[in-house]
Structure 1
């Protein structure tokens, strides 16, 4: 389907965990893609160039260079990591100077705008403050809230479920459901949103909410046991073991905040505010498919 809002050209900043599926989603659905990178000679960028992406070398500290790189671009999609506030601000300012219509800000996670989200880790508070600043200096903003990336529930980053050893460490309420969405579903939702939704007015932002499925750690463990045929050894820790650390301004504090949020309900997107119907999206990856992917890996 052709874009209904005129979006045809995309610049993507970052091709990591979510940036890579976004790149392939854009390329496979007829959008013209430029990938912004500090080094166009990186071997892992070849796969995108072979599918038609333009590799554009940029210096994120140079607003002038970024502005030149963004001439003729309709939408900038940022997946820059936490701690890149200055670079993302330069990118947004350059986008406005270049006439970009829309800026998708790098948040990709829980619904930071939810009424029950307090308290927030300082690194999350920084993201929220940056959004306020970007509305003043950049194009209109979309933010995608997708809950937890589904396979990260079993990652060493989170440290809760280990599919290889069949061990689990759960902090707090293991029966509390939270939102999970596969990388590929987030990418498809984002592509649909940027090509179908009306562009917000200048100086504004809109939060778009997408969920692949809702599950608890109990649900994930039960599904993994069913699919893999092996029981998990489960250890339980108190909610306070993470909640007491969740305001520390560090990566450890950020992980504690995330684990506390998954335990106390902050990790569940408001089910009546999902943007699925508006963009014509249906999830393709459920809890079983997620677990099968993890166990195969």
Structure 2
């Protein structure tokens, strides 16, 4: 049998990190720790919480990784904490870590050379330069996290659970709101499927299949934000700009979709976009991916 991974350290336990932590802990063969600056985190019974002074403290992180014989680091750090991954990479190298899964879990960031998401390419360049294998996971329309706490990753991707938020859906008024045509396709995935997928491939797929790879997954595809009206049985109201919290971000999401840039397979050369968007799904053979209807009981 080809070797698989069995020892993991997770960084961050928010909306994405929490389910990943739980899914890894549910694997019978897995040994899992949560590296955190706080001792007040709630973790599954079979997960050990390991406190560190800072993610930038290379000696402390290295010591923790060595003490627990960690093979794989899974980072779900928020956007503001991404620079700390450079220090994590150094610690991984010194501790002999075999794979680092950097914080992605949104749309492809391969071509991001400016702005906060450019940090996601800096870590890949760092890992390549020091010889630490990596695995990038692209899952859905990208919603950059605005969390100030580097242990919390609130919105790294438009998870299915956040779809009503994106369109200001009101169950009471039976209305949702869109900007522009809002007819471009959008890749989405449930948070449980993100955690389950990562836990499955890390503990079941041969290590050779995962090293230095990019995997793209899609749990469901929204034909366009406007189509959510029929799904939720809601009136679709077209507005010039969204209102409320992070309204500009919602405007951007809809603009990206109308430009054909809101699927995980957009920009992949030589492969049809729809095929590329779920190319990584095959590594979880037989899994029934949750749809928008499934998550909300529609």
TM-score exceeds 0.5: yes
TM-aligned CA deviation for residue 194 of structure 1: 1.7
Deviation string, structure 1 residues 76-99 (Cα, Å, up to 9, x no partner) = 000000021331111121011101
Structure-1 separation of matches of 2:289 and 2:206: 25
1:171 is displaced (CA, Å) by 2.1
Q: CA RMSD, aligned part only?
A: 2.8
Q: CA deviation at 1:277?
A: 1.5
What's the TM-score once normalised by structure 1's chain length? 0.79
Does 2:263 match 1:268? yes
Aligned twin of 2:87: 90
Cα distance in structure 2, aligned partners of 1:79 and 1:108 = 8
The residue aligned with 1:6 is 4
Assess, with a 3 A threshold, how the Cα gap between structure 1 residues 101 and 253 changes in structure 2: closer, same or farther.
Answer: farther
Alignment equivalent of 1:22, drawn from 20, 30, 36: 20
1:223 aligns with 2:220: no
Q: 1:281 to 1:132 in 2, by over 3 A?
A: farther
Q: In structure 1, the residue corresponding to 2:254 is in which secondary structure?
A: helix
**Is 1:196 aligned with 2:207?**
no
1:54 alignment partner, one of 41, 48, 53: 48
Which ranges of structure 1 fall in alignment gaps of 5 or more residues?
226-230, 243-250
1:150 maps to which residue? 160
Q: Secondary structure at the match of 2:127?
A: helix
Q: Distance in 1 between matches of 2:186 and 2:4?
A: 35
Instruction: Report the TM-score when normalising by structure 2.
Output: 0.78
Q: Please state if 1:210 is matched with 2:217.
A: yes
| Structure 2 CA distance for partners of 1:151 and 1:121, relative to 1, 3 Å | farther
* Alpha-carbon offset, residue 197 of structure 1: 3.6
1:103 aligns with 2:106: no
The Cα shift of 1:255 comes to 5.3
1:70 partner SS: helix
Residue 165 of structure 1 deviates from its aligned partner by: 4.4
